[in-house]
Amino acid sequence: MKTLHRSLLVTALLAALALPAQAVQLVVWDPQLQTKLGYGEATGNKFNLQLVTDYSGPVVAIFIRDDSEKNSYAGLMPRYNGQLTGGALSLFAGGTLQPLNRFLGTFKLTPSVQNSVRTFSLPGLKTAPSNK
C-alpha cells in the first residue's frame, strides 16, 4: 500500500510539473483600446516585449496574470496609463511616469524590447494613427 501511495504521489507531482507555467503578459493599447501597440510576456526574470516605433502618445497598458502569479507579482495592477514614444514605454505608477526598466525592476523583471515599425492588428480594429 505504501508503494502505491508513493507511486501516486510521484505521478501527481510529475503531472503538475508538466503543466505549462503561465507568464505575466502585457498588452499595450491606444487610449481608445482600438489599436494594439505592443505585446510582451515574462519568461523567468526577463520580460520580452515588442513595441511599435511609429506611434507617439498616450497608451493603456493591460497586465494579464493568473491566480498563481498574484503572490509573485504583488502590487502589480491590471491596468496602467502610460506614454509610448518612438518605441520607448513609460508607465504612470506611484504618481509619476516611470521608464519601463524602472517600473519592471520593482517586480524583479528586466525588459528586453524589440521594436517594430508595424502595429499589431486585430480583425475589425483601426490602424494606429501616426503622431509624428
Is residue 106 scored above 60 in pLDDT? Answer: yes
* Better pLDDT: 7 or 100: 100
Q: What is the mean pLDDT of residues 122-130?
A: 49
Kindly report, residue by residue over 52-90, the tens digit of the pLDDT.
998 999 999 999 988 777 677 888 999 999 999 989 999
All domains in the chain, ordered by first residue? 22-116 (2.60.40)
Integer CA distances (angstroms), 26 to 5, 9, 80, in order: 42, 36, 10
Amino acid code (one letter) for 16: A
* Better pLDDT: 20 or 107: 107
Secondary structure (3-state) at 79 = strand
Q: What pLDDT shows up at residue 48?
A: 94
Element (H, E) at 12: helix 2-18
Cell numbers describing residue 37: 501597440
Secondary structure (3-state) at 86 = coil
Cα separation, 130 vs 30, in Å, equals: 12
- Read off the pTM: 0.71
Cα separation, 103 vs 126, in Å, equals: 29
Integer CA distances (angstroms), 127 to 35, 50, 51, 120, in order: 6, 17, 14, 8
